[in-house]
Amino acid sequence: MGTIVRTAAALGATATTALPGTVDFWNPKVIRSSMGAQFVHPPFHVTIPELFGFLDREGVELWSADAGGTQLSSEPPPARLALAVGNEGSGLSADVRARARRTVSLPIASSVESLNVAVAAGIILYQLR
């Protein structure tokens, strides 16, 4: 989680949110791996209803990242975008999958099953930037 927060901050994301079951943003290991990015990049723990309510109120489109998604194209992303990434074991929740307007993926070698979630998030955030 710390790597995701640090990368999101470095690439200009507005904030990072975490759903229930995610490690605490203020866990010492998360702080260490983020190099303290939480102090300049706001992290929020939210419930799914809180997240979806915020997206609706603020007009933010939700995309998800999953190996079965489509590759990002050269067309610009929406001006207000939230990117959901899931943990490496369980992936995204059914609620988030159902809500996402688009699911994106990275082109990786067929000999590799997946990437670390922080690495994948960083690459996608960089491409979206």
pLDDT band at 60 (very low <50, low <70, confident <90, very high): very high
Q: Which residue ranges make up each domain of the chain?
A: 2-128
Q: Give the CATH H-level superfamily of domain 2-128.
A: SPOUT methyltransferase, trefoil knot domain (3.40.1280.10)
> Which amino acid does the sequence have at 21?
G
Position 73 scores a pLDDT of: 81
Nearest Cα to Cα of residue 96 among 37, 39, 51, 56 = 51
Task: Give me the mean pLDDT over the 13-18 stretch.
Answer: 94
Tens digit of pLDDT for each residue in 75-101?
Answer: 889 999 999 999 877 889 999 999 999
Predicted confidence at residue 124, as pLDDT, reads 94
Q: For position 67, what pLDDT does the model report?
A: 85
Q: Are strands 81-84 and 61-71 parallel, antiparallel or unpaired?
A: parallel
Contact 64, 83 (CB under 8 A): yes
Residue 129, pLDDT > 90, answer no
pLDDT > 90 in the chain, percent? 68
